Amino acid sequence: MRICSKVFLGSLFLGLLPGLLSFAAEATKPKGRPQSASASPLWVTKAVTSPRVTHHVFTSKSAKAEVSYHLYRPAAYEAERDRRFPVVYWLHGSGGGLPGIPNVAKRFDAAIAAGKLPPCLVVFVNGLEMGMYVDWADGSAPVESMIIRDLLPQVDTTYRTIAKREGRLLDGFSMGGYGAARLGFKYPDLFRAVSIVGAGPMQAELKSTPRASRIQAEDLLKRAFGGDQAVFQEVSPRKLAQRNAKKIAQESMVRMIIGEQDETFGNNEAFHRHLEGLGITHGWTIVPGVGHEPERVFESLGDDNWEFYRKAFAGQPAR
């Protein structure tokens, strides 16, 4: 399938991480009413069994609870004991993403073995079913703080990582794309590269969503953002990009990828124009004939999916 790609302001050659998006497929399906804000967050998920993938639990001071994550380690991690590795932080879509982790790890492993991707760790973050990668307004689910204040230090002190911004990359699809944009633009000192794929909600106000009902949008606004549009706007990728535009433009790698028939296309295109207006160099790729379908997106892009990662991690010392 031919890919329609547009590059602005000397933007980087684009790719898409195949397989990372595969487990977001469940997240793209319309959900029922979101979990009540009063319900206890599911900070510890069940373990997924897959080669080179392990399940871990650590104590998060921000969440005041045990929190789980999954980790993929390449063969080189055990073979080269003095080597340090870059880290991909994958942010899943709504509904979680456990069923797809084995396939994601398999794709990473194959790409690394084929020399298409430098060996790296992949942290599958537990962003809760509809955590939005923000600290909830009522304080009940500090997802952002858990990731930034607790998970990143936990990973860097536990594993042989390149523990600086040049060794970290954020990626995500749908809700995960929204989260990658939020965290990458809010913390450009922590992340070198930001991949935003099929992202949502990217609109200026959370009054309706292309893939959910008005009632679901209202519930989401109430649960995560205290029912306040001003709060939603203040923590949005739009505002964060505006606030840190100079640093992002000078130091960060950014890409956006969207299916031509994705219901979120209009909101993503508007966000792309927003970044362009801020002078933030970024890749903008439209995948023809594809909707909110991660599998079809990466299948269409082929092996060039890994180019973004190779450039992001280029030049990093292994020791």
Write out pLDDT tens, residues 186-235: 999 999 999 999 999 999 999 878 877 788 889 999 999 999 999 999 99
Looking at the domain assignment, is residue 121 inside a domain?
yes
d(CA 27, CA 294): 10
Residue 319 located in a structural domain: no
Cα separation of 271 and 98, whole Å? Answer: 29
Is residue 157 a part of any domain in this protein? yes
DSSP 49: P
Residues 6+ apart with CB under 8 A from 138: 37, 226
Cis bond upstream, residue 201 (ω within 30): yes
Q: What's the CATH code of the domain at 168?
A: 3.40.50.1820
56 belongs to a structural domain: yes
Which residue range(s) make up the domain with 149?
Answer: 4-313
Q: Does 250 fall in a domain? A: yes
Kindly give the pairing relationship between strand 87-91 and strand 168-173. parallel
- For residue 19, give the nearest of 215, 303, 319 by alpha carbon: 303
48 within a domain of the structure (yes/no): yes
Q: What is the pLDDT of residue 99?
A: 83
Whether the pTM exceeds 0.85: the reply is: yes
Longest dimension (CA), the chain: 53
Tokens at residue 208, please?
């309706």
The per-residue pLDDT for range 103-120, each reduced to its tens digit, is 878 888 999 999 999 999
Q: Is residue 18 a part of any domain in this protein?
A: yes
Segment 23-50 shows an average pLDDT of 61
- Stretch 155-168: mean pLDDT: 97
Residue 318 lies in a domain: no
Q: How many CA atoms lie within 13 A of 114 on its CB side?
A: 10
Under 8 Å between Cβ of 200 and 211: yes
The Cα 67–Cα 192 span in angstroms is 25
- Total tally of structural domains belonging to the chain: 1
